[in-house]
Chains A and B, each alone.
Chain A
Amino acid sequence: DIQMTQSPSFLSASVGDRVTINCKASQNINKYLNWYQQKLGEAPKLLIYNTNNLQTGIPSRFSGSGSGTDYTLTISSLQPEDVATYFCLQHSSRPWTFGGGTKLELK
């Protein structure tokens, strides 16, 4: 199985900050990487698919990049409603595997 190592596990940032979250795959996943946001008590919500495609309705402050084994989710200007846990998911090779999550809080 492909291992997804997500960092950091916890992140504290201020409103307006630029935030980056990373996922590193144990092998090349050819940009088959999605990002999800999960707020407390809710199901995960798809933010970005296939590395850099913004899901309809998601604010443009969210963006994704990467290739090969290294991928990044960026929030360009953190807003209070972005407090959540973020997960990556690789869908290059079954079984699909998730990163361990990044819990983002406001400083």
Chain B
Amino acid sequence: QVQLQQSGAELAKPGSSVKISCKASGYTFTSYYISWIKQTTGQGLEYIGYINTGSGGTNYNEKFKGKATLTVDKSSSTAFMQLSSLTPDDSAVYYCARGGLPGLYWGQGVMVTVSS
């Protein structure tokens, strides 16, 4: 069965970076893009962007350019998102989802907390 297993919760200091992962199983990894979505209580859901898991090509929401960097490791069927220069506004739950458009399969979410 299709599964997207995300890494664990992160507690990070302002100004630092975190890299969260999304390991896919149950399907051919390179057949589907991976999207990333941010969820906060205040801003709701925001689409960060997607990565072409075959070519590594990316498409970012302008709002997240310079903040998020999407990469993949095809050998381990894992997608990564690095968040840099963290501020408290980056505190959120981050989801990965299969496809350039979030559809049926989502990861369980990773809570990132930015606090000094």
Contact = CB atoms under 8 A, between A and B. Distances in A.
Contacts of B44: 87, 98-101
B108 A44 contact: no
Contacts of B109: 43
B14 interface: no
A46 B99 CA distance: 13
A24 B31 CA distance: 33
A99 B46 CA distance: 9
A34 B95 CA distance: 17
Interface residues of B, number: 19
A95 B46 CA distance: 9
Contacts of B101: 34, 91, 96
Contact of A95 (B62, B95, B104): B62
Interface of A: 34, 36, 43-46, 49, 55, 87, 89, 91, 94-101
Interface of B: 44-47, 49, 59, 61-63, 95, 97, 101-104, 106-109
13 contacts: A34-B101, A43-B106, A46-B102, A89-B102, A95-B47, A95-B49, A95-B63, A96-B102, A98-B45, A98-B47, A99-B44, A100-B44, A101-B45
